[in-house]
Chains A and B, each alone.
Chain A
Amino acid sequence: MGINTQALMAQLLVGLINGSFYALLSLGLAVIFGMLNIINFAHGALYMMGAFVAYFLLSIFGLNYWFALVLAPIIVGAFGMILERTMLQRLAGLDHLYGLLLTFGLALIIQGVFQNFFGSSGLPYAIPTALQGGTNLGFMFLPTYRAWVVVFSLTVCLLTWFLIEKTRLGAYLRAATENPTLVRAFGVNVPRMITLTYGLGVGLAALAGVLSAPINQVRPLMGADLIIVVFAVVVIGGMGSIMGSIVTGFMLGVLEGLTKYFYPEASNTVVFVFMVLVLLLKPSGLTGRAA
């Protein structure tokens, strides 16, 4: 198979779709890291919970995909806020690595419990009727659902960026991370803001989970390996900026897509190799400030 532009275009588009998952997940990590200085190892497990909640909403309450898209992030986000209130908050003032260890433990527990109750092969979740089928673009068959994923996640990413960088609430948030004492002096409830931020980051993970439920099997371990790739994305992008993590997410999705076409054997290592290169050339990451 030689290089043909049609196939190449198709792979680029497919890469963009994957990139939207990376972007949503790394954005959530960046939001949490920015405010809490915690690397949320449970992010993959919470992403998985999002997909499971979508499944339960449908199978138990008969609430379809569109409800899940709104409800799952809220439900999982609330769960995240409980975790933050009961556990993560106690780590304030300790080395950040404890946050990593705690969330790693939480990820093991969440995944283990789900595995116990739902086995490992997972549960089916159908594509919503309105988004079934696809369009023949000439160079590829584009399933409608995939197109929806790209558009929707891009919108969510930009909204989040706007919320944090351009609104008053976002300004408080950013200020609170720079100088919590001062912001508290202005009468802002900093701990509550931190809890809400964690909820927001977790909600984004859950949203990615709902988006992926119709594409991937809803499995307890669906987020376990994904989170490591997202970590690499975060290292490459640097966690300094919200926009940086969005752009890096999409970019690496495309890079991976191209690798799948030219040299599929390396497609699961390319992100890591790229990370090594970035670290050797620009240790602080593409957009980040030095840690």
Chain B
Amino acid sequence: MSTVTTHRPRPPVQPTTLLARRLPKYAAPAVALAALLLAAAIVYGAGIGGPALVVVIGALLYLAGLFAAANAVEGRRSARNRTWSALIHSAFVLAVLPLASVVWTLVSKGTERLDANFFGTSMNNIGARDPEGGAYHAIIGTLEQVGIATLITVPLGILCAIYIVEYGRGRFAFAIRFFVDVMTGIPSIVSGLFVLAFWVLIVSPWFNDGRPGFSGFAAALALGVLMLPTVVRSTEEMLRLVPAPLREGAYALGVPKWKTILRVVLPTALPGIVTGVMLAIARAAGETAPVLLVAGGGAAINFDPFENNQSSLALFVYQQAGDASRYAPARAWTAALTLVALVLILTIAAKLLARRNRLGR
């Protein structure tokens, strides 16, 4: 081995000029137009498809053409930048398309039965030939079941998360976290079966003259089983995000730990906790299977969540969508639209409430 090291000339890093050649502003739209025209020519020329295929091929041609044009004029780094930007924007469009499609379908089909009758009547005594009938009972059911489930799970879930983050040490806290993780993966039907077996068939007969107690409350329990892990995990993540110096700042003022958590940590984490709770509520409101299993559905208005069958909006959609009556699909669409609107309104209201607690800048 020679001991003489030869200095290879280093590739120049320093630019000689700060100016760079740029594609004109109209280049990207021009490439897009050319790509679409070319794609249309290919597709219709060969007679192999319709407008959808033109857009797909056009998009691919656009990416290739943009890269080629930018590579020729602006250089390789800029070409890669432009291509990746275009790819990321396309990904965004692809992700939003189904959402827009769902909203559009819901609104266009759901408005047909969007009338006072739908929100004021139940399905009681509505036959296959009756165009009327509404989801009043289902709306009551959803509100009561989700409301009760929220009342149960939110305090429990937040307290559980506080235990895990602020107090839990060692194996017990680890075990709780593990089981919360396991609970996250419980299919809704299993939660429904659990409540059916445990509550409806075993516990509730004790104070129900021995009859199984199908009820909205049982549905709320099943929904609560589904909501709890979401509330715990999102609250836990939010509490962990609260900086330790804030807690120490409160401790240093002689504030006890529980008061620090209540007055400093929780308010700081509140907006995130609200988001997590709303996610849980949205999930619970859309569940069909547990409600079908333990609340049984039902066509009549039942305000009492603790007695007799109740329906819910999701269950109503399921039943109407499978109904033979030709008026049923319209009811299903309107109920679906109502459900989405309900969750949206709740989310917006919760966000506004959480924001009101923060100070204006």
The answer to whether A binds B is: no
Which positions in B face A, CB cutoff 8 Å? none
Which positions in A face B, CB cutoff 8 Å? none
